[in-house]
Amino acid sequence: MPKLFESIKLRDLEVKNRIWISPMCQYSCENKDGVPGSWHEVHLVSRAIGGAGLIIVEASGVTPEGRITPWCTGIWNDEQAKAWKKIVDLAHSHGAKMAMQLAHAGRKASNHREASGVGSISLAEGGWETVSSTNQAFGDYAAPRKLNVAEIGNLVEAFGQAAKRSVEAGFDAVEIHGAHGYLLHQFLSPLSNDRDDEYGGSLENRARMLMEVISSIRNSVPETMPVFLRLSATDYAEGGWDQEQTATVSGWATKAGVDLIDVSSGGIVTGVKIPSGPGYQVPLAEYVADQISEPVSAVGQITDAHQAEEILQSGKVDVILIARASLRDPYWPLRAAAELGAEVQWPEQYSRGKWPA
User: Which pTM was predicted?
Assistant: 0.97
Q: Residue 232: which pLDDT band, with cuts at 50, 70 and 90?
A: very high
Residue 7, domain member (yes or no): no
Q: Is the pLDDT of residue 342 over 80?
A: yes
Residue 68 to residue 80: CA distance in whole angstroms: 16
Residue 161 to residue 33: CA distance in whole angstroms: 18
Residue 63, domain member (yes or no): yes
The confidence score (pLDDT) of residue 189 equals 99
User: Could you give the percent of the chain with pLDDT greater than 70?
Assistant: 99
The confidence score (pLDDT) of residue 356 equals 78
Cβ atoms of residues 151 and 145 within 8 Å: no
Selected residue with higher pLDDT from 1 and 62: 62
The confidence score (pLDDT) of residue 83 equals 99
pLDDT, tens digit (0-9, with 9 covering 90-100), for 156-187? 999 999 999 999 999 999 999 999 999 999 99
Q: Residue 355: which pLDDT band, with cuts at 50, 70 and 90?
A: confident
Residue 353, domain member (yes or no): no
Q: Is the pLDDT of residue 144 over 80?
A: yes
Whole-number average pLDDT of the chain: 97
pLDDT, tens digit (0-9, with 9 covering 90-100), for 43-85? 999 999 999 999 999 999 999 999 999 999 999 999 999 999 9
The confidence score (pLDDT) of residue 119 equals 84
Give the residue among 1, 23, 20 at the shortest CA–CA distance from 10.
20
Catalytic residue check, 199: no
Residue 6, domain member (yes or no): no
User: Could you give the percent of the chain with pLDDT greater than 90?
Assistant: 95
The confidence score (pLDDT) of residue 115 equals 63
Output the domain CATH number for residue 272.
Answer: 3.20.20.70
Task: Please name every residue paired with 142 in a beta bridge, in sequence order, or none if there are none.
Answer: none
Q: Is the pLDDT of residue 301 over 70?
A: yes
Residue 345, domain member (yes or no): no
Q: Is the pLDDT of residue 100 over 70?
A: yes
pLDDT, tens digit (0-9, with 9 covering 90-100), for 182-212? 999 999 999 999 999 999 999 999 999 999 9
Residue 264, domain member (yes or no): yes
Q: Other CB atoms closer than 10 Å to residue 330's CB: what's the count?
A: 20
Residue 336, domain member (yes or no): no
Give residues with Cβ within 8 angstroms of 201, minimum separation 6: 195
202-205 CB contacts, 8 Å cutoff, 24+ apart: 203/245, 203/248, 203/249
Q: Residue 116: which pLDDT band, with cuts at 50, 70 and 90?
A: low
- Residue span of the structural domain in which 241 resides: 16-330
Angle 149-168/208-218 helices, nearest 10 degrees? 30
Catalytic residue, candidates 182, 236, 287, 331: 182
Q: Is the pLDDT of residue 247 over 70?
A: yes
Residue 129, domain member (yes or no): yes
Give the residue among 1, 4, 3, 2 at the shortest CA–CA distance from 19.
4
Domain count, the chain: 1
The confidence score (pLDDT) of residue 58 equals 98
